[in-house]
Amino acid sequence: MSENITGRIYDIQGFSVHDGPGIRTTVFTKGCPLRCLWCHSPESQKYPYELSYLNIKCIGVELCGGLCLNACANGALRVLEAEKSSVSEEMAAKVEIDRSKCVSCLKCTEACPSKALVPSGRESCVEDIYARVEKDRIFFKKDGGVTISGGEPMSQFEFSCNLAAKFHENGINVCLDTTGFAPAEQYLRILPYIRLFLYDLKHMDSARHEKLTGVPNEMILSNAGVIADGGGALQIRVPVIPKLNADWENLARTADFCAGLGEAVQQVQLLPYHSMGKSKYERLGWIYKLTNVDPPGDEFMAKVLELFESRGLPAMIH
Ligand code: SF4
Ligand code: SF4
């Protein structure tokens, strides 16, 4: 195990109650081989650093002196017409990014005093992340711990594996939130350190899976079996997205597949689609493509729950 090994993360969040059992601290790694159309964390997808801009935090060029404009050598920032400031009654002339000119050098993020411009992503080593998470240990109690999420943590395998080992060996239980899209031998190597794999099943048909996520599903389905056969525990997560994967045939095939994994499946979480990640796309200057999809209704979700329970699965709507 190496404590000096570094990886690229984009956030560490404490007090999470959605990333595995109990109260958890979640470490989000950067970079993912999938491109799910409904992705709630677009800032996690690309491995290179990106420029993120939150207009509401910009205090205006008069107040800060236009520090970002001076920092940008590429003319990628321009001043907008003044609008009412979010921090005072004054009018403020905020900035806009011309993404076609921006080369992601991130110089403007060092200059911006209000953190309106921030880098998405930073390097961190196992030891530093451990020290940060250790501060939350008192809140973990019996079930809580750390979750390594992303992005796809397995796409920085040596880093994620060393991180998991460090927590495990110091008595902090580890959940790994993974797409399942990584070599089987890597899952077998990391398995001894993982208390629970949070494992997404997005579509059972490989061609359709590829259309929705950018990759086929054979390796993902096969790795679920590798983890189950290797003695790992799985929390299967099924996003339920009308028009994309929420047809009855696919849901029934998904339920059958989960049932086939046997006792390794500790829980199936059915996740009704929502578009709450949409504003993150704007911050990165990206376009959110799922504009014609609505969340599934409560009645429909209740029927999906019944379907999974009819296979004897410990399912819940999350
Ligand atoms: S990241 Fe670099 S190129 Fe892009 S706006 Fe900021 S300073 Fe300009
Ligand atoms: S983005 Fe930051 S540096 Fe640029 S005008 Fe706004 S507050 Fe000033």
- Dist CA 292 CA 307 (whole Å): 26
- What does the pLDDT average to over 284-300? 90
Residue nearest to atom 8 of ligand 1 (CA): 72
Backbone φ/ψ region at 141: left (φ over 0), alpha (ψ -120 to 50), beta: left
pLDDT at 11: 92
The domains of the chain, with CATH numbers, are: 6-48+122-317 (3.20.20.70), 50-119 (3.30.70.20)
Is the CB of 106 within 6 Å of ligand 1?
yes
Is the CB of 112 within 6 Å of ligand 2?
yes
Is the CB of 72 within 6 Å of ligand 1?
yes
Model pTM score: 0.88
pLDDT at 85: 66
pLDDT at 272: 96
Please indicate whether residue 83 or residue 250 has the higher confidence score (pLDDT).
250
Residue nearest to atom 6 of ligand 2 (CA): 58
Residues 93-127 have pLDDT tens digits of 999 999 999 999 999 999 999 999 999 899 999 99
pLDDT at 83: 80
- What does the pLDDT average to over 155-162? 97
- What does the pLDDT average to over 168-174? 97
Is the CB of 116 within 6 Å of ligand 2?
yes
Residue in the block written with tokens 């008595």 = 171
DSSP at 74: T
Question: To the nearest whole number, what is the mean pLDDT of the chain?
Answer: 94
Residue nearest to atom 2 of ligand 2 (CA): 112
1 pLDDT above the threshold of 80: no
- Token pair for residue 76? 């990628």
- Token pair for residue 247? 């047809």
Is the CB of 118 within 6 Å of ligand 2?
no
Closest to 159 in 3D by CA, of 192, 196, 195, 127: 127
314 pLDDT above the threshold of 70: yes
249 pLDDT above the threshold of 70: yes
- Token pair for residue 170? 């110091």
Q: How confident is the model at residue 131 (pLDDT cuts 50, 70, 90)?
A: very high
Backbone angles phi, psi at 299, to 5 degrees: -65, -45
Residues 42-89 have pLDDT tens digits of 989 999 988 999 999 999 999 999 999 999 999 999 999 888 766 666
Q: Where are the beta strands (DSSP E) in the chain?
A: 6-16, 24-29, 50-53, 77-79, 83-84, 91-92, 95-97, 117-120, 122-125, 145-149, 174-178, 196-200, 234-240, 265-272, 315-317
State the distance from the centre of ligand 1 to the C-alpha of 140, rounded, in angstroms. Answer: 40
